[in-house]
Amino acid sequence: MELAQLCPAAQNAALAKSITGEWDYPGFDQLLKELIAFDQTMDARVRRNLRWMVISIILCVIAFITMFILIGEDYLYSGIAAFVGALANMIRCIQLWRKSKKLALPEASLEMVHGLIRLLRQDLDPKAKITATIDLSGLTDKKKQSIKPMQWAYLDPWCSIRLKLRDGYVALVRQTDTFIETTKTKKGARGKTKSKTKWKKQCRVTARIIPPAPVVWGAPPQVDRVWERHKMVTKNDVSVAVLDRWWAFKQPTDAPTKSPAARDIIGMLFRLCAMRPKEAK
């Protein structure tokens, strides 16, 4: 799907790289479907443009070498012209690749949100709206901060979704990703410096279930002792059930794109919902 084919709301979200506001289920579902389709087109374009960029760089190098071979020959001017052409082509290919990369969206994030609302669609209060604040801009310089020399952190609290369930309870899901970028430089035998970048990504999802009125909660949920923490917090005299879960991903060279699956996040909500008193039914 091209940008022009998207509905106005999806166009705005794709360009602003953010989704905000209140949505009814069909509108939100459609928005996410369109953004996922748009991102697939963009990903294919990024791959294609990358291929052309590599070819253009090779052509440019060949033209450059040929130009040198032709020094002192009659065809030197043709060689220079060929090199200039190849150089211009290379610059254009790099620009196109960068442009397509800029338009691509984080697909794992979109798929998580879409999976979440799709499986919970029947639980939603039909009269209530889905409130979402979703930042799709990923790793930007604004989110970057230096921790120590050659190490940077990116803090990305990209997702906040509020769903009102049909039994009056409210489910809140928040996700914050933290990226750590570490660059190590080594001096080789011939004095050449080599640098290696490593990435770590930590995702934290906080799920909350807020009752419509003060309730007596049931037994605490089953939790994974390593990756999960459960607690109760009191807000406006109402006790809220909270479950936190962490995930860790590692990757060399590029920032990890993996993200928690909707399945696991719904599992967190499911366990919190199991704490509701029976009479709520």
Minimal distance, residue 127 CB to another protein, in Å: 14
Q: Are 124 and 26 in contact (CB under 8 A)?
A: no
Residue 231 CA from chain centroid, whole number: 28
Task: Determine if 123 is a binding residue for another protein (CB under 8 A).
Answer: yes
**In this structure, which amino acid lies at residue 260?**
P
Q: What is the DSSP letter of 133?
A: E
Task: Determine if 207 is a binding residue for another protein (CB under 8 A).
Answer: no
Of 174, 162, 168, give the one whose Cα is nearest residue 277: 168
Query: Which of 68, 140, 218, 231 is close enough to bind another protein by CB under 8 A?
Result: 218
Separation of alpha carbons 63 and 58, rounded Å: 9
Separation of alpha carbons 178 and 249, rounded Å: 10
Nearer to another protein, 42 or 273 (CB): 273
The residue count for binding another protein (CB under 8 A) is 27
Minimal distance, residue 36 CB to another protein, in Å: 17
Task: Determine if 232 is a binding residue for another protein (CB under 8 A).
Answer: no
Residues 141-180 that bind another protein (CB under 8 A): 165-167, 169, 171
Q: Angle CA(138)–CA(223)–CA(125) in degrees, nearest 5?
A: 65
Task: Determine if 280 is a binding residue for another protein (CB under 8 A).
Answer: yes
Residues 103-122 that bind another protein (CB under 8 A): 119-120, 122
Query: Which of 68, 75, 77, 270 is close enough to bind another protein by CB under 8 A?
Result: 270
Please choose, out of 70-78, 174-182, 213-221, 245-253, the segment that lies near another protein by the rule CB under 8 A: 213-221
Task: Supply 40's token pair.
Answer: 């697939």
Q: Is 58 helix (H, G, I), strand (E, B) or coil?
A: helix
Q: Taking the CA atoms of the chain, what radius of gyration do you get in angstroms?
A: 25
Binding site for another protein (CB under 8 A): 119-120, 122-123, 165-167, 169, 171, 218-219, 221-222, 263, 266-267, 269-271, 273-278, 280-281
